[in-house]
Chains A and B, each alone.
Chain A
Amino acid sequence: MTNDAGSIFVGVDVGASHTKVAILDSEKKLIGHSVRKSGTDFTDSAENCLNSALEMANALEENIVRCVSTGYGRKNVPFSQGTKTEIGCHARGCYHYFPMAMTIVDIGGQDNKVIKLDAKGRRLSFKMNRKCAAGTGAFLEEMSLRLEIPLEDMDALAEGAENMVELGSYCTVFSATEVLGKIRQGKKVPDIVKGLFFSVIKRVLEMDSLTDRVVITGGVVAHNPYLVNMVEEITEREIMVPEYPQLTGAVGAALFAMEKGGHNG
C-alpha cells in the first residue's frame, strides 16, 4: 500500500448499535470512514472499523497523529488517546458543518439527544432520552423484526404511504402489539411504517423545544432520509443534515483529536 495520506486525525464513535470511524486530514477533510455493528466486542469492532477507514483513506496507523473516542463504548478503544462524550462530539461535528447557533437532534441506535449550541458552537444545554429507548433506532429495528420488513425497505415504504396510521403507546413492545392490531384491521403496511416514523419523531420532539436552525444526525436519518422530510413537514422548518449524518460524532471526535481535546484516559 502506498502511503500518501500524511498526518491524519481519527475519531471513533462506539455506539450501542454501531461503531463509526472518521479520518480527517490536516485540512479537516474527511478522507476515510467506516461503519460496523458494534456487536459484543467493542475493542474488536473499533479496530476493524479503523482498518477499513484507513484503507479508504489510503493511510497507515503510523499516519495517525491522535485519536479520540466517543460513544457508549468510548472507554473500550485501546488505541485512543482521549475520550469525549457523544454529546460533545455531536456538537463539535455539527458545528464543523454548520457554524451557527442551532438545535441538534441526534437519533441513534439507543440514545436520542437534543443539544443546543450558541453561535460560537458552545453548548447551552442538552437532553438525552430518559430510561426508555422508545423513539430510537432500536424501536425501528424491533418493528422491522416483528413486521418482517427489512430495515432498508422502511424508508421507501413510508415515502409511498397514502395515509398514516397513528400509534399511541410509549412502549416499544406494546407498540408492536398495537401495530399487529392495525394489520388485523386491514391497515396498509406503508401507512403503518409511516406511523412508526411519526412515532419516532414525536418521541424526539417532546424532549425539548427546537430553537434556531435545526440539524438532524444519526444512523436513523442516514438510512431513512424520508424521516427528515416528515420532520420538516411537521415542524414547518427547514432541516439541515450533514453529508454523513451517522458519522457526525466520529467527525467531532476527530476534530477534538486535531485540537488535542478530550480527556486523556
Chain B
Amino acid sequence: MSEEKKTTRRQIAAAKTLKKFMADYFYEMDDAAKTGSQKIAWCTSVGPAELLRGMGFLVYYPENHGAMLGATRMSTDLIPYANALGYSPDICSYLTCDVGSYLQKKTPLTMAYNIESVPRPDVLVFNTNQCRDVQDWFAWYSRELNVPLVGVHTHRDIGNIRNYQIKDIASQIEDLVPKLEEVTGKKFDLARFKEALGYSRRTSELWGACLEEAAAIPSPWTFFDATIHMAPAVVSRGTKEANDYYELLLPELQQRVKDDFAAVEGEKHRLYWEGMPIWGKLRSLSEQFYSLKTCVVASTYCNSWIFDQLDPDEPFESMAVAYTELFIVRDELYKEQYITDCYNKFKFDGILFHDAKTCPNNSNNRYGMPERLSEKLGIPVLTINGDLCDLRCYSEEQAKTNIEAFIEQLEEK
C-alpha cells in the first residue's frame, strides 16, 4: 500500500451523457443571459427551485459553482480576494471562493465549456436552511449587481416538526410569488408549478433509488461517484431532463448489482462519509480508499437532495415539509437516528466525519456525535480535518495517515 496504485476502473457509462447534460445546462443559461430570452434566478442549493422552475426561470446555483471551483482547485487561490474585502477565512469557502472568482473574472466554466462568465442573475433567491452564509453571499451580489434579493428563513435545530413551522415556511414560499412575478412580468401559473413539483418529486425518487443501490454488497458505486452524478438532482430538479438522466443511470447501477460488480475491487470495508466532500481531493481520496479495498458506500451529503415529500396536490405545503425535514436543520437526536437508519440499510463498518473548517452546519463531529454513534452502533469513527474548498485547511499527509490507520484498526477487529 505504499503508494496508491493508479487504477483503471470501469467507468459508469452514463457519465458521457452526464457530461453533455451539464454542458447543455450551462450553454442554455449562457445563451439566455446574453440574449435575454429567459429570466435567470440564482438559487441556493436547497432553495425553492420548484417554484422558480414553475415560474419559467432558468436556475443557476452558486454552490455548484463553488464545488466546481473546489474540484478544479481554483478556490484556494481565489478565497483571499474575498478575505481582503472583509469576508473572514472562517466563513463558508463556497462564498469566499465564488466572490473571489467574480472579482478575478475567473471561472472553471471557461476551461470546461468556453463560457466566459457565470450567467448574470435577474433575481437572487435563498433559503437559509443550508446556513446563514448563503444569505450574506447573495446579499453581496445583490449590492454588487443591483439585483433583487428574496428568500426563505428556515427553522433550525428541529426535533419533531410542528404545524406552525410548516405553515410558516409554506407562507414564506408563497410570499415569494408576487416578488418573482415582478421579475418575470408574467402571472404565476399554478399548473406549471405543479408540473415542476412533480418532476422534482420523480427526480428525488430516482436519485434516492440510485443511492440505495449502494446497499448491495459489494457496492456498485462509491460516494465519490455519487458526488459527480448528483449534479442533475442539484441543478435541474424540477425538469424532465433530470429524470431522463436518472432513468438512464439507475438501470446501469441495477445491472452492476445483478452482475455482482464491485466498484472497489475486492471490497473489504464499507464506510459512511458524514460531512462535506473535500472537492479538490476527491480523486486522491477515492484512489486511497480503492487501494485500501474500502468503499465509501453512503453519505449524508448525497442523501440531502432527496425530497420525496413533494406532492403536486399540496404544492406549497409539501415544499415546506421537504425543506424542513432536511437533515441539516434537524436536532442532534434526529441526526443520530438518521445515521443509525443508514447504518442498518448500508451496513458500513465505520464512519468518517469530515470536520470542514468553514462549514460548521455540515460538520457534525463538533458536539460529541462521533463518540455517541460509535458507542451506540459499536463501530469505530474517525474525524479528519479539512474543508470543502479551502485546501489551506487540509493537511494531506495527516489525513491520509489517519485514514490508513483507521483501516488498519478495522482489520484488527
Across the interface, B1 reaches (CB within 8 A) one of A83, A122, A123, A128, namely: A83
Across the interface, A87 reaches (CB within 8 A) one of B3, B374, B380, B408, namely: B408
| CB of B396 to closest CB in A, whole Å | 11
Instruction: Report the bound CA distance from A72 to B398 in whole Å.
Output: 9
- A-B residue pair count with CB separations less than 8 angstroms: 51
Residues on the B chain within 8 Å of A88, using CB: 405, 408
Residue contact B413 to A263, C-beta cutoff 8 Å? no
Residue contact B1 to A86, C-beta cutoff 8 Å? no
Residue contact B385 to A123, C-beta cutoff 8 Å? no
Residue contact A123 to B398, C-beta cutoff 8 Å? no
Residues on the A chain within 8 Å of B163, using CB: none
Question: Which B256-282 residues sit within 8 Å CB-CB of chain A?
Answer: none
Among B380, B381, B404, the most chain A Cβ lie within 10 Å of the Cβ of B404
Residue contact B1 to A263, C-beta cutoff 8 Å? yes
Instruction: Report the bound CA distance from A131 to B408 in whole Å.
Output: 22
Q: How many residues on B have C-beta within 8 angstroms of the other chain's C-beta atoms?
A: 20
Among B1, B383, B393, the most chain A Cβ lie within 10 Å of the Cβ of B1
The main secondary structure of chain A at its interface with chain B is: mixed
Residues on the B chain within 8 Å of A86, using CB: 401, 405
| CB of B7 to closest CB in A, whole Å | 16
Residues on the B chain within 8 Å of A226, using CB: none
Question: Which A114-158 residues sit within 8 Å CB-CB of chain B?
Answer: 122-128, 130-131
With an 8 A cutoff between CB atoms, is A75 at the interface?
Answer: yes
| CB of A253 to closest CB in B, whole Å | 13
Q: How many residues on A have C-beta within 8 angstroms of the other chain's C-beta atoms?
A: 22
With an 8 A cutoff between CB atoms, is B397 at the interface?
Answer: yes
Residues on the A chain within 8 Å of B3, using CB: 75, 265
| CB of A116 to closest CB in B, whole Å | 10
| CB of B93 to closest CB in A, whole Å | 15
Residue contact B385 to A85, C-beta cutoff 8 Å? no
Over the window 54-78 of chain A, the binary record of Cβ atoms lying under 8 Å from chain B Cβ atoms (1 yes, 0 no) is: 0000000000000000001011000
Instruction: Report the bound CA distance from A123 to B408 in whole Å.
Output: 9
Instruction: Report the bound CA distance from A74 to B3 in whole Å.
Output: 11
With an 8 A cutoff between CB atoms, is B412 at the interface?
Answer: yes
Residues on the B chain within 8 Å of A125, using CB: 374, 380-381, 409
Instruction: Report the bound CA distance from A44 to B240 in whole Å.
Output: 62
With an 8 A cutoff between CB atoms, is B402 at the interface?
Answer: yes
Closest B residue by C-beta to A80: B2
The main secondary structure of chain B at its interface with chain A is: helix
With an 8 A cutoff between CB atoms, is B395 at the interface?
Answer: yes
Instruction: Report the bound CA distance from A6 to B409 in whole Å.
Output: 33
Residues on the B chain within 8 Å of A72, using CB: 397, 401
Instruction: Report the bound CA distance from A126 to B406 in whole Å.
Output: 8
Residue contact A126 to B398, C-beta cutoff 8 Å? no
Instruction: Report the bound CA distance from A86 to B405 in whole Å.
Output: 8
With an 8 A cutoff between CB atoms, is A20 at the interface?
Answer: no
Closest A residue by C-beta to B374: A125
Over the window 221-265 of chain A, the binary record of Cβ atoms lying under 8 Å from chain B Cβ atoms (1 yes, 0 no) is: 000000000000000000000000000000000000000000111
Closest B residue by C-beta to A71: B401
Residue contact A131 to B405, C-beta cutoff 8 Å? no
Instruction: Report the bound CA distance from A130 to B355 in whole Å.
Output: 10
Residues on the B chain within 8 Å of A84, using CB: 408
Closest A residue by C-beta to B292: A263
Residue contact A122 to B412, C-beta cutoff 8 Å? yes
Across the interface, A131 reaches (CB within 8 A) one of B2, B381, B393, B401, namely: B393
Over the window 35-52 of chain B, the binary record of Cβ atoms lying under 8 Å from chain A Cβ atoms (1 yes, 0 no) is: 000000000000000000
Residues on the A chain within 8 Å of B393, using CB: 131
Residues on the B chain within 8 Å of A126, using CB: 405, 409
Residue contact A87 to B401, C-beta cutoff 8 Å? yes
Residues on the B chain within 8 Å of A111, using CB: 398
Over the window 1-19 of chain B, the binary record of Cβ atoms lying under 8 Å from chain A Cβ atoms (1 yes, 0 no) is: 1110000000000000000
A265-B408 contact in complex given A125-B374, A131-B393, C-beta closer than 8 Å: no
Instruction: Report the bound CA distance from A74 to B393 in whole Å.
Output: 24
Residue contact B398 to A131, C-beta cutoff 8 Å? yes
A85-B2 contact in complex given A123-B408, A125-B380, A131-B393, C-beta closer than 8 Å: no
| CB of B292 to closest CB in A, whole Å | 9
Over the window 370-392 of chain B, the binary record of Cβ atoms lying under 8 Å from chain A Cβ atoms (1 yes, 0 no) is: 00001000001101010000000
A-B contact pairs, 11 of them (CB 8 A): A85-B408, A87-B405, A111-B398, A122-B409, A123-B409, A126-B409, A128-B401, A131-B385, A131-B395, A264-B2, A265-B2
Closest 4 CB pairs of A and B: A265-B2, A263-B1, A87-B405, A85-B405
**B interface with A by C-beta (< 8 Å):** 1-3, 374, 380-381, 383, 385, 393, 395, 397-398, 401-402, 404-405, 408-409, 412-413
